[in-house]
Chains A and B, each alone.
Chain A
Amino acid sequence: QQQVKQSPQSLIVQKGGISIINCAYENTAFDYFPWYQQFPGKGPALLIAIRPDVSEKKEGRFTISFNKSAKQFSLHIMDSQPGDSATYFCAASSQTGANNLFFGTGTRLTVIP
């Protein structure tokens, strides 16, 4: 059972364009929503994260949009660069229980020069 659903599976964007990756969840106990970036052969690293008390968080070219009522959140990469080519994972966790992070299935982003 996939706790977090992510789309699309792959994405190709022109340099300078906007990359958008979407995620949805069902568990209303989730209260922490990070995005991780992974380069080939490496472990994922935290990119940006949001809590449900805000609807948007921006760090540089990366923005998370959060819709609590729809139980959806998305990552926007503005002015996409070839160096952004990587696999992106959304995730969610709850402070209750074991505090486990549940990940989406990942999106492979390719930014074409």
Chain B
Amino acid sequence: SQTIHQWPATLVQPVGSPLSLECTVEGTSNPNLYWYRQAAGRGLQLLFYSVGIGQISSEVPQNLSASRPQDRQFILSSKKLLLSDSGFYLCAWRDRANTEAFFGQGTRLTVV
């Protein structure tokens, strides 16, 4: 069966520090991978998506970047965090033959 792992679950980082959130998927190959950010009253905002290794598309301009060094690994990064980067970050994957999206448990990021 397919599973998705996302870590850490919570993170408190000072302003200006770097960020690295990791997501891995098991049990499938060549999935579409996604990073979403959830903020109160704004729903799930799509940040990045990837259809293959090294292929990253950004939906919104921001202080964050994403990378996909392996087929089932998706990383969200920042060189210098801003207060506005605080939020609940969710990784998700979709099989190309299946329309359902599967989400990780999320990372609660607080920038202080």
Contacts and interface: CB of A to CB of B under 8 A. Distances in A.
B26 to A, nearest CB: 16
Interface in A59-113: 89, 91, 93, 98-106
B38 to A, nearest CB: 8
B61 interface: no
A9 B105 contact: no
B100 A34 contact: yes
Nearest to B40: A106
A13 B106 CA distance: 28
**For B57, B90, B100, B101, which residue has the most chain A Cβ atoms within 10 angstroms?**
B101
Interface residues on A, range: 20 to 34
Contact of A89 (B6, B44, B46): B44
Given A42-B105, A43-B106, A89 B43 contact: yes
B106 A41 contact: yes
B90 A99 contact: no
Contacts of A105: 41-43
Given A44-B90, A89-B43, 6 more contacts: A41-B105, A41-B106, A44-B103, A101-B46, A101-B92, A105-B41
Interface of A: 6, 9, 32, 34, 41-46, 49, 89, 91, 93, 98-106
| CB-based closest 4 A-B pairs | A43-B103, A105-B43, A103-B44, A106-B43
